Structure 1
Amino acid sequence: MDLIPAPSSAVRRPDEDFPLDATTTLTAPPGLADAERWLRGTLSAATGLPLGPGRPGTGIELVLDGALAAEAYRITVRPGHALLAAGGPAGALWAAQTLRQLLGPDAYRRSPLRREGWVLPGADIADAPRFGWRGALLDVARHFLPKSDVLRFVDLLAAHKLNVLHLHLTDDQGWRVEIKRYPGLTGRGAWRERSMVGYRSGQRRDDRPHGGYYTQDDLREIVAYAAARGVTVVPEIDLPGHTQAAVAAYPELGNTDVVDTAALGVWTDWGVSPHVLNASEETLRFFEGVLEEVLELFPSEFIHLGGDECPKEQWKDSAAAQARIHELGLANEDELQSHLIRHFDRWLAERGRRLIGWDEILEGGLAPGAAVSSWRGFGGGVAAAEAGHDVVMCPEQHVYLDHRQADGPDEPVPVGFVRTLEDVYRFEPVPAQLDAAAARHVIGTQANLWSEFADSARDVDYRAFPRLVAFAEVAWSELPAEPAERDYPDFERRLRGHLEVLDALGVEYRPMGGPRPWQRRPGVAGRPIEGPPPVR
Structure 2
Amino acid sequence: MSPVEPALVPAPRTVEEAAPGGFPLTPDTPLWAGPGTGTTERWLRSTLGPALGLRFPPGAEDTRDGLRLRLDDTLAPEAYRLAVLPGRGVEIAGGGPAGVFWGAQTLRQLLGPDAFRKAPVRPGATRTVPHRIVEDEPRFRWRGLMLDVARHFMPKEGVLRYLDLMAAHKLNVLHFHLTDDQGWRIEIERYPRLTETGSWRARTKLGHRASPLWNDTPHGGHYTQDDIREIVAYAAERHIAVVPEIDVPGHSQAAIAAYPELGNTDVVDTSSLAVWDTWGINPNVLAPTDATLRFYEGVLEEVLELFPADATGPSAFASAPPSSPAPPVSSFSSFSSFSSFVHIGGDECPKDQWRASDVAQKRIADLGLADEDALQSWFIGHFAGWLAERGRRLIGWDEILQGGLAPGAAVSSWRGYAGGVAAARAGHDVVMCPEQHVYLDHRQDAGPEEPVPIGYVRTLEDVYRFEPVPAELTPEDAGRVLGTQANAWSEVTENQARVDYQVFPRLAALAEVAWSALPAPAERDFAGFERRMAAHYRRLDALGVAYRPPAGPLPWQRRPGVLGRPIDGAPPQR
Asked if 1:121 corresponds to 2:159, the answer is no
- The partner residue of 1:36 within 36, 41, 56 is 41
The answer (yes or no) to whether the contact 1:57–1:81 under 8 Å persists in 2 is: no
The residue aligned with 1:174 is 183
- Tell me the distance in 2 between the aligned counterparts of 1:237 and 1:475: 25
The residue aligned with 1:474 is 513
Within-5 A mapping of 1:158-197: 158-197=167-206
Asked if 1:85 corresponds to 2:93, the answer is yes
- The partner residue of 2:254 within 239, 245, 252 is 245
SS at 1:404 equivalent: coil
Query: How far did residue 533 of structure 1 move?
Result: 7.7
- Tell me the distance in 2 between the aligned counterparts of 1:55 and 1:364: 60
- Higher deviation after alignment, 39-48 or 438-447: 39-48
Question: Aligned in 2, Cα 1:349/1:194: closer, same or farther, shift over 3 Å?
Answer: same
The answer (yes or no) to whether the contact 2:203–2:217 under 8 Å persists in 1 is: yes
Asked if 1:15 corresponds to 2:54, the answer is no
The answer (yes or no) to whether the contact 2:264–2:286 under 8 Å persists in 1 is: yes
The answer (yes or no) to whether the contact 2:170–2:511 under 8 Å persists in 1 is: yes
SS at 1:15 equivalent: strand
The residue aligned with 1:287 is 296
- Tell me the distance in 2 between the aligned counterparts of 1:533 and 1:384: 21
- Tell me the distance in 1 between the aligned counterparts of 2:465 and 2:417: 15
- Tell me the distance in 2 between the aligned counterparts of 1:241 and 1:151: 28
Amino acid at match of 1:510: R
- Tell me the distance in 2 between the aligned counterparts of 1:88 and 1:130: 16
Query: How far did residue 532 of structure 1 move?
Result: 9.1
- The partner residue of 2:236 within 227, 241, 246 is 227
Amino acid at match of 2:102: W
RMSD of aligned Cα (Å): 1.2
The answer (yes or no) to whether the contact 1:241–1:276 under 8 Å persists in 2 is: yes
The answer (yes or no) to whether the contact 1:16–1:123 under 8 Å persists in 2 is: no
- Tell me the distance in 2 between the aligned counterparts of 1:497 and 1:152: 21
Asked if 1:336 corresponds to 2:375, the answer is yes
Within-5 A mapping of 1:145-164: 145-164=154-173
The residue aligned with 1:354 is 393
Asked if 1:501 corresponds to 2:508, the answer is no
Query: How far did residue 409 of structure 1 move?
Result: 1.1
The residue aligned with 2:102 is 94
The answer (yes or no) to whether the contact 1:255–1:278 under 8 Å persists in 2 is: yes
Amino acid at match of 1:93: F
The residue aligned with 1:268 is 277
Asked if 1:72 corresponds to 2:110, the answer is no
The residue aligned with 1:526 is 564
Query: How far did residue 26 of structure 1 move?
Result: 1.0
TM-score by length of 1: 0.98
Q: Structure 1: which 4+ aligned runs deviate by more than 3 Å?
A: 531-534
- Higher deviation after alignment, 188-197 or 11-20: 11-20
- Tell me the distance in 1 between the aligned counterparts of 2:487 and 2:112: 29
The answer (yes or no) to whether the contact 1:45–1:111 under 8 Å persists in 2 is: yes
Asked if 1:375 corresponds to 2:414, the answer is yes
SS at 1:13 equivalent: strand
- Tell me the distance in 2 between the aligned counterparts of 1:201 and 1:241: 21
Amino acid at match of 1:448: N
The answer (yes or no) to whether the contact 2:283–2:350 under 8 Å persists in 1 is: yes
Query: How far did residue 226 of structure 1 move?
Result: 0.6
The answer (yes or no) to whether the contact 2:35–2:70 under 8 Å persists in 1 is: no
The answer (yes or no) to whether the contact 1:16–1:77 under 8 Å persists in 2 is: no
Query: Deviations along 1:348-391, whole A, 9 cap, x unmatched?
Result: 00000000000000001112111000000000000100111100
Query: How far did residue 113 of structure 1 move?
Result: 1.0
Give 5+ residue unaligned stretches, structure 2.
1-5, 309-338
Amino acid at match of 1:492: E
Within-5 A mapping of 1:291-306: 291-299=300-308, 300-306=339-345
Query: How far did residue 17 of structure 1 move?
Result: 1.1
- Higher deviation after alignment, 502-511 or 50-59: 50-59
Within-5 A mapping of 1:293-442: 293-299=302-308, 300-442=339-481
Query: How far did residue 16 of structure 1 move?
Result: 5.0
The answer (yes or no) to whether the contact 2:465–2:522 under 8 Å persists in 1 is: no
Query: Deviations along 1:74-102, whole A, 9 cap, x unmatched?
Result: 01102351010001111111011111111
The residue aligned with 1:215 is 224
Within-5 A mapping of 1:39-50: 39-50=44-55
The answer (yes or no) to whether the contact 2:68–2:91 under 8 Å persists in 1 is: yes
- Tell me the distance in 2 between the aligned counterparts of 1:38 and 1:376: 38
- Tell me the distance in 1 between the aligned counterparts of 2:422 and 2:565: 30
The answer (yes or no) to whether the contact 2:251–2:282 under 8 Å persists in 1 is: yes
Query: How far did residue 21 of structure 1 move?
Result: 1.2
TM-score by length of 2: 0.92
- The partner residue of 1:104 within 93, 102, 112 is 112
Query: How far did residue 235 of structure 1 move?
Result: 0.3
Question: Aligned in 2, Cα 1:191/1:171: closer, same or farther, shift over 3 Å?
Answer: same
Query: How far did residue 14 of structure 1 move?
Result: 4.0
SS at 1:77 equivalent: strand
